[in-house]
């Protein structure tokens, strides 16, 4: 991969590194995650563990694809965003390959989600911020 991908991999704080898929977060997102109320943090951690089980499909109430959003760079790239869900808590991110393992990268944590509908402006901002890691 490229230098930006390698930088992202070095920065990731891995929170689930078992099974066929892993979960990591950017350092600032992880710091916020550690401050989430314990019961919701544990619920998200259960979803992360389930995510790592080989050949397992997750319920849409726990993990959901949100679609592709423009990265905002000059090469017309897009970022496929996903969310882990636990009540009003959402961890938004994308999936990359790290050493041939699919790894969810947590890019933004929202702890006061009031509706089930995703905030499209927020998702576009997340994708544009992720552009810094695209090669």
Task: Express each pLDDT in 8-63 by its tens digit.
Answer: 999 999 999 999 999 999 999 999 999 999 999 999 999 999 999 998 889 888 99
- What does pLDDT average to over the chain? 91
Q: Is the pTM of this model over 0.85?
A: yes
Local structure of 13: helix, strand or coil: strand
Contact 70, 127 (CB under 8 A): yes
Q: What is the pLDDT of residues 62-79, one digit of tens each?
A: 999 999 999 876 567 899
- Sorted by where each starts, the structural domains of the chain and their CATH numbers stand as 3-133 (3.30.2310.20)
CA-wise closest residue to 52 among 79, 93, 14:
14
pLDDT given for residue 74 in this prediction: 59
CA-wise closest residue to 14 among 86, 71, 98, 87:
98
Number of CB atoms found within 10 A of residue 6's CB? 12
């Amino acid at each position: 991969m490229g230098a930006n991908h390698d930088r992202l991999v070095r920065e990731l704080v891995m929170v689930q590194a078992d099974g066929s898929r892993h979960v990591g977060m950017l350092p600032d997102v992880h710091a916020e995650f550690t401050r989430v109320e314990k019961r919701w943090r544990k619920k998200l951690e259960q979803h992360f563990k389930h995510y790592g089980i080989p050949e397992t499909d997750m319920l849409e109430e726990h993990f959901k694809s949100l679609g592709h959003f423009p990265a905002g760079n000059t090469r017309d790239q897009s970022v496929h965003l996903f969310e882990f869900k636990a009540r009003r808590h959402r961890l938004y991110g994308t999936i990359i390959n790290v050493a041939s393992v699919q790894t969810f990268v947590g890019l933004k944590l929202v702890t006061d989600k009031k509706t089930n509908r995703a905030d499209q402006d927020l998702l576009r901002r997340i994708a544009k911020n992720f552009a810094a890691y695209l090669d």
